[in-house]
Amino acid sequence: MNLIIKNIKSELTLSQLHVDNTEIELLAGSSETLMVTAKFVDGHFEEVTQKASYENSNPKVDTITEGEADITITYQGDLGEAQSVTIHVNVSVGAGVWLEAECGTVGSLWNINTNNTASNGKYVTIQSGNNSTDAAPSYASGQLSYTFDLPASDTYTLYLRVICPSPDDDSFWLSMDGGSFAMWNGITGSSSWTWTYFPTTYQLSTETHTLTIDYREDGARLDKIWITNAGADITNEGADARNCNTALRDDIVQDMEVFPNPVKHELNILLSHVPADIRIFSSDGKEVFFQHANSLITCIDMAHYHPGLYFIKSNIQGQTLVRKIFKD
Ligand SMILES: [Ca+2]
Ligand SMILES: [Ca+2]
C-alpha cells in the first residue's frame, strides 16, 4: 500500500498569477482572448481564466471603445492572499485596410516563402540577384500589386510589416494609383517582423485604389500591408487581411477537438476550419509549439514533452479557442 501525504496548505495557496499577454494593442471592433494561469505554492499550475475576477467585465475587455485602460485581474486560492496582475490595453479607432503581401498580384520574380512568424504563414521577397537601385523596374514580373477600397476619404499612412536585415536589403519602390514611383530606402533594420511606416502620407478617396510595390534591393522581405488613417504601434500580426482567397467569411464558427486526453505520445487536433494557427503553451505560459495548419487534422508528437498541463490554442481569423490537455 502507498500512503501519499500531501501538503494541502501549499496545494491551496496561490503564489503567482500569470497572464499570457499584458500589453494589448487593439483596433476598435477587434478582440483578444486572454488566458490566466495561477501558480500555487506547491508548484502546480491551474488555468483560472473563468474563475478570476476582472476590474472590467469578465473576462472580456471589449467594453473599451477607444483609448487606454488598465485592467486588474485578481484570483485567490482556497487559502492565503489573493494575487493580482494588471494588463494594459490600448484601443485605437480608425479606418483602413489590411493586405497580405503574398495574396496580391505577385510578379514571377518574387518568391512566396513560408515562415512560422509571418502573418498568414507567408511573405514575399524578390529573387536573389535582382536589384534596381536607380529606378523602379516597372515591369510586371518585378511588381507586387494590390487593389483595395477605403471607407472614408482621408489622409492615409502606408505601413509595411518587414524584415530588412541590412542596409543593402532595406528598400522598395512605391506607386499609388499609377503615380510616379517613390523610393523608400533605409527602412528600419530588423531580423524579426517589424511594422514600419512610409513617411509620406497619401490623400485617398473612397474610390478603388491600386498600390504597386517594385523591388529595389534583394533581401528585403515583405509580410503584410496596412493602409490606415489612424496608425498605431502594432507589435503583433495586426488584424486579419481581407485579400486572401481562403474562405474569408464572417460567419465561420471555429471548433476544435483535442484527443486523447491525457496524452502519452501523439496528440490529434481536429479543426472545423483551416487555415488556422495552432499553438501549444506550457502551464507557465511559454509557447512550446507553433504550426500554421492547412489540414483539418493535425497530429503532434508529444512524447518528448514534460508531463503536466498544456494549453492548445487555435486561431482562425481572430477567433481563438483554447483546450486544456494533460501530458502523462
Ligand atoms: Ca541585398
Ligand atoms: Ca503574410
Q: How far is the CA of 124 from the centre of ligand 1 (A)?
A: 14
d(CA 23, CA 17) in angstroms, rounded, equals 16
pLDDT in tens, 100-130: 999 999 999 999 999 999 999 999 999 999 9
Q: How far is the CA of 133 from the centre of ligand 1 (A)?
A: 10
pLDDT in tens, 242-290: 788 654 445 556 788 899 999 999 999 988 887 888 889 888 878 899 8
Q: How far is the CA of 106 from the centre of ligand 1 (A)?
A: 19
pLDDT in tens, 184-196: 999 988 999 999 9
Q: How far is the CA of 214 from the centre of ligand 1 (A)?
A: 14
**236 and 114 Cβ atoms separated by less than 8 Å:** no
| Most confident residue range from 5-9, 52-56, 310-314 | 310-314
What is the model's pLDDT at position 42? Answer: 83
* Greater model confidence, 131 or 1: 131
Q: How far is the CA of 237 from the centre of ligand 2 (A)?
A: 9
* Greater model confidence, 10 or 176: 176
pLDDT of 7 over the 70 cut: no
* Greater model confidence, 318 or 88: 88
Q: How far is the CA of 145 from the centre of ligand 1 (A)?
A: 21
pLDDT in tens, 145-157: 999 988 789 999 9
Lowest mean pLDDT among 62-66, 176-180, 223-227, 293-297: 62-66
Domain range list for the chain: 7-93, 96-228, 246-328
**143 and 213 Cβ atoms separated by less than 8 Å:** yes
Cα three-residue angle 156-161-164, rounded to 5 degrees: 125
What is the model's pLDDT at position 265? Answer: 93
At the top level of CATH, the class of 246-328 is mainly beta
| Two domains, one topology: 7-93 and 246-328 | yes
Cell of 317: 481569423
Mean pLDDT of all residues belonging to the chain: 85
Q: How far is the CA of 29 from the centre of ligand 1 (A)?
A: 39
> What φ, ψ does residue 83 adopt, rounded to 5°?
-115, 150
Q: How far is the CA of 209 from the centre of ligand 2 (A)?
A: 20
pLDDT of 294 over the 90 cut: no
Q: How far is the CA of 113 from the centre of ligand 1 (A)?
A: 17
Give the closest ligand to the alpha carbon of residue 169.
1
What is the model's pLDDT at position 247? Answer: 46
Does domain 96-228 fall into CATH 3.90.1150.10?
no
Q: Domain 7-93 belongs to what architecture?
A: Sandwich (2.60)
Q: How far is the CA of 216 from the centre of ligand 1 (A)?
A: 9
Q: How far is the CA of 43 from the centre of ligand 2 (A)?
A: 40
Cell of 59: 473576462
Mean pLDDT, residues 10-31 taken together: 73
**36 and 19 Cβ atoms separated by less than 8 Å:** yes
- Predicted confidence band at 2 (pLDDT cuts at 50, 70, 90)? low
Q: How far is the CA of 196 from the centre of ligand 2 (A)?
A: 15
**320 and 313 Cβ atoms separated by less than 8 Å:** yes
pLDDT of 299 over the 60 cut: yes
Q: How far is the CA of 186 from the centre of ligand 1 (A)?
A: 12
